[in-house]
Amino acid sequence: MTHIRKAVFPVAGMGTRFLPATKSVPKEMITLVDRPLIQYAVDEARDAGVEEFIFVSAAGKGALEDYFDTAAALETRLQAAGKTEALAALDCTRMAEGALTLLRQSQPLGLGHAVRQARKLIGDEAFAVILPDDVIKSEKGALAQMVEVHRELGGHMVATMDVPRSDISKYGVLDVASEQGRVSRALGLIEKPRADLAPSTKAVIGRYILDRSIFDQLDNLGPGAGGELQLTDAINADVSTVGVHGFTFDGQRFDCGSVQGYVQATTAFAMDRADLQSEYAAFLNEKRQPFRLVA
Ligand code: G1P
């Protein structure tokens, strides 16, 4: 049995890097192979034992609600046409009664502010946060890997990945006290440091298991990097009390908040699909080298 029953999904972001698509489609609905990014995030949470899904959303994100709702007309038509395979493809979009809650983040004040919206729904237990932009391809889900280790360690836990120093300013970064296997104990965390000031190259990736103490820290938080309320700063404030560990997950992470990461993820996930891989590999490997670099 898992001890992490609830997960928060911050889905209020505008996704400007995906304009014009995100003019009318929430970025979490952008499709990797044949399912939207949010589906990968929800599947990973389910795989870790999560039963309650809290979306911190914003105006213009209605497609996310519809996606996890029953599509009565569509299902009736598929049923009547005997399209059982197409019907079965909808199974992953079904939510148990009351399992999905949508909250509005009325102002874009940062990730810390988004997570704070879930305080009442979380109550007194440790919970997960999943950023759907970070898609992790792995045998065992990254969050499930973390849940297992968190059971022993408690406190706050963040997913980590070693990145080149030239990229470190895009991330929350760990000041590492000690490292044992995949687990590092943090002395502190800093959001988007200058590369030359970063305490390490261990970057925070968008998976968190947080103690409920985080909400008190979020209440006391002032604006951090970029003038936003940063989750990283709230976690940092708990380093000497509840404790913070980084967990370097087994898997490949794609930054699907960027177009480059997204197209790479598309290829990686397509190549993993038995029904697509051979034809797609033949296309990519075509001897004629049909790809030309733009001058
Ligand atoms: C957020 C977090 C940052 C983390 C990153 C991972 O930043 O604030 O600490 O390293 O996600 O993707 P964002 O990418 O939203 O700027």
Residue 285: pLDDT band by 50, 70, 90 thresholds? confident
Is the pLDDT confidence value at 295 over 80?
Answer: no
Structural domain including 245 reads 6-287
Tell me if 141 sits within 8 A of 19, measured CB to CB: no
Q: According to the model, what pLDDT value does residue 289 have?
A: 62
Q: What is the pLDDT of residues 137-161, one digit of tens each?
A: 999 999 999 999 999 999 999 999 9
The answer to whether position 220 is within a domain reads yes
Residue 162 Cα to ligand 1 midpoint, Å, equals 14
| Average of per-residue pLDDT across 232-252 | 97
Q: Which two tokens stand for residue 152?
A: 């022993």
Instruction: Determine whether the shortest distance from the Cβ of 203 to ligand 1 is under 6 A.
Output: yes
Candidate from 163, 170, 229, 230 with most ligand 1 atoms within 8 A of CB, to mutate? 170
Ligand 1 atom closest to 231 (CA): 8
Q: What is the pTM of this model?
A: 0.95
Question: Cα 24 vs. chain centroid, distance in angstroms?
Answer: 21
What SS3 class is residue 58?
Answer: coil
The answer to whether position 1 is within a domain reads no
The answer to whether position 197 is within a domain reads yes
Q: 132-169 burial, b for 16+ CB within 10 Å, e for fewer? A: bbbbbeeeebbbbbbbebbeebebbbbbbbebeeeebb
The answer to whether position 159 is within a domain reads yes
Instruction: Determine whether the shortest distance from the Cβ of 171 to ligand 1 is under 6 A.
Output: yes
The answer to whether position 105 is within a domain reads yes
Q: How many domains does the chain have?
A: 1
In percent, the amount of the chain with pLDDT more than 70 equals 98
The answer to whether position 196 is within a domain reads yes
Q: According to the model, what pLDDT value does residue 290 have?
A: 65
The answer to whether position 294 is within a domain reads no
Query: What is the C-alpha separation between 177 and 199, in angstroms, rounded?
Result: 10
Instruction: Determine whether the shortest distance from the Cβ of 190 to ligand 1 is under 6 A.
Output: no
Q: According to the model, what pLDDT value does residue 2 have?
A: 62
Instruction: Determine whether the shortest distance from the Cβ of 131 to ligand 1 is under 6 A.
Output: yes
Q: How far is CA 137 from CA 86, 172, 245, 253, 267, in A?
A: 24, 21, 22, 6, 12
| Contacts with 276 (C-beta within 8 Å, 6 or more apart), sequence order | 33, 270
Residue 195 Cα to ligand 1 midpoint, Å, equals 15
Residue 96 Cα to ligand 1 midpoint, Å, equals 30
Q: What is the pLDDT of residues 8-29, one digit of tens each?
A: 999 999 999 999 999 999 999 9
The answer to whether position 66 is within a domain reads yes
Q: What is the pLDDT of residues 67-102, one digit of tens each?
A: 999 999 999 999 999 999 999 999 999 999 999 999
Q: How far is CA 54 from CA 142, 145, 249, 291, in A?
A: 19, 21, 23, 42
Phi, psi of 269 (to 5 degrees): -75, -35
Is the pLDDT confidence value at 294 over 80?
Answer: no
CATH classification of the domain holding 201: 3.90.550.10
